[in-house]
Amino acid sequence: MALYNKQQLRLYNSIDGEKQVFKPIHEGRIGMYVCGPTVYSNVHLGNCRTFISFDMIYRYLSHLGYKVRYVRNITDAGHLTDDADAGEDKISKKARLEQLEPMEVVQQYTLDFHNVMKRFNCHPPSIEPTATGHIVEQIEIIKTILDKGYAYERNGSIYFDVLKFNEDHHYGKLSGRNLEDMIANTRELASQSEKENAQDFALWKKASPEHIMRWPSPWGDGFPGWHLECTVMSSKYLGETFDIHGGGMDLKFPHHECEIAQGEAAHGHSPVNYWLHANMLTLEGKKMSKSTGNSILPEELFTGDNDFMEKPFSPAVIRFFMMQAHYRSILDFSNDAILAAEKGLHRLQEGIKVLQQLPASKESSVDINKWVQDCYNAMNDDFNTPILIAELFEGVKIIHAIKDGNETITAADLKLLEEKMTAFLIDVLGIENNIAAATTGASKHIDAAMKLIIDLRATARARKDWETSDKIRDELAAAGIQLKDGADGTTFTTN
């Protein structure tokens, strides 16, 4: 029996503002679409948090036994500099400034995005479609929306008629906005725009003579609006209604609101059952912004070449740090917080290393099954990773209690404990599997060096050279290595 039949998953559905029991459209199968990057610059850490969060969600759904079709797009055209219906295409602007072909820009930053995601141990999506690869489909859905009366043409551009749509649908239901209030707060004059209403948005934009990225259409050369590609690609690969749509909280309005409107206008029903939104990442209490200098790239964290952190941090530590906050909560990135995360991850990894060496007993004095279910309860509660991590630390306490002889565990429970500790940390949270390497590879060299140091300290103690003995112990402690003297000799642990 698949795990999803034993575990009741509850998701916070943004469109209803409450947690709901998750029921997929098709038994054992899930369709999930996540808005991907616009590839005109290096992916920044805030974007990474969104993609890492949905990688965790994808991992847990797969862990439960669901067959997940995970679609995440690449926006390589049509995304304007002001994220509205005016301005210059971001990729075209970058290409013009660097004197490159637009597809050179796309290739460069798509490769960067893939490399960063790989460093963070994110699984690739099942399908990664591009906007430019689906121009024909975007033109066809525009025709459908026009035929149904929810769009109009102006000078070679096609606009979605929000007021017309709102007559028999609710525009604003995802973001909790009321169209009448939006209209009342609008200051735009009709003469300043070819749109009939300020709230209308572009489905297709006429290309100006200098616009590089352009395609032929029934309305002349142009390019698709920002919102259209996601409606087209999600419905093509997941169906007109699918299970989960995810993205950053900043996309809720207007992007996702417009997606809902386009889907309902074209197909006559809601495109998505569960809307999930990941929250932002701040840096030292302030919103990340390239313009103010309060930003940091993943590579700058990995190398330590930045003005915010005192040393480099591995992708695994950064990912673990992000998992310590719920995906829907704002997370502040600071030097002290990442140092604490690094120390915590080392504790978990050391605990699993100790776990692999524990002896089995005839009886268990600890309830491992309850601990396992507590871990699942955390993840079943809208993917509550901070509570899961707290439960993993409880698992480490159990491990050390068994090691110290204060608790006992049977072989079967020991196997279950090891299986679930590694499954939740590696398979679900996605922390790169370097635990096995902790007992082999580089760790062998560390163990050999520590054996030599411990032997030298033992020699100093035998000679009653307490100054040397204490210096070795204290210097190691300062480096995060604790020595423990016992009847069977001296052992060491790392913080």
- State pLDDT tens for residues 166-176: 999 999 999 99
pLDDT at 439: 39
pLDDT for 151 beyond 90:
yes
Q: Is residue 110 part of a domain?
A: yes
**For 294, how many CA atoms within 13 A lie in the half-sphere containing its CB?**
13
CATH code (residue 126): 3.40.50.620
Name the pLDDT band for 81 (thresholds 50, 70, 90). low
User: Does some domain include residue 100?
Assistant: yes
Query: When comparing pLDDT for 149 and 293, which is higher?
Result: 149
340 lies in the same domain as 373: yes
Mean pLDDT of the chain: 91
CATH of the domain at 364: 1.10.730
441 pLDDT exceeds 50? no
In a shared domain, residues 113 and 201: yes
Distance, CA of 385 to CA of 397 (rounded, Å): 19
Domain assignment of residue 5, yes or no: no
Is 343 found in the same domain as 224? no
Identify the band that residue 25 occupies on the pLDDT scale cut at 50, 70 and 90: very high
pLDDT of residue 84: 58
Assessment of whether the complete model's pTM goes beyond 0.85 = yes
| Structure confidence at residue 438 (pLDDT) | 40
Question: Which range, of 81-85, 92-96, 279-283, 292-296, averages the lowest pLDDT?
Answer: 81-85
Q: Which of 222, 252, 278 is the last residue of a domain?
A: 278
Last residue of a domain, one of 237, 260, 278: 278
Give the range of the structural domain holding residue 472, as residue numbers without chain letter. 442-494
Question: 202 near 159, Cβ under 8 Å?
Answer: yes
86 and 130 together in one domain: yes
According to the model, what pLDDT value does residue 279 have?
A: 97
- pLDDT at 99 exceeding the cut of 60: yes
Residue 272 pairs with which residues in a beta bridge?
242
Of 278, 297, 325, the last residue of a domain is 278
Asked if residue 2 is part of any domain, the answer here is: no
Q: What is the mean pLDDT of residues 370-397?
A: 98
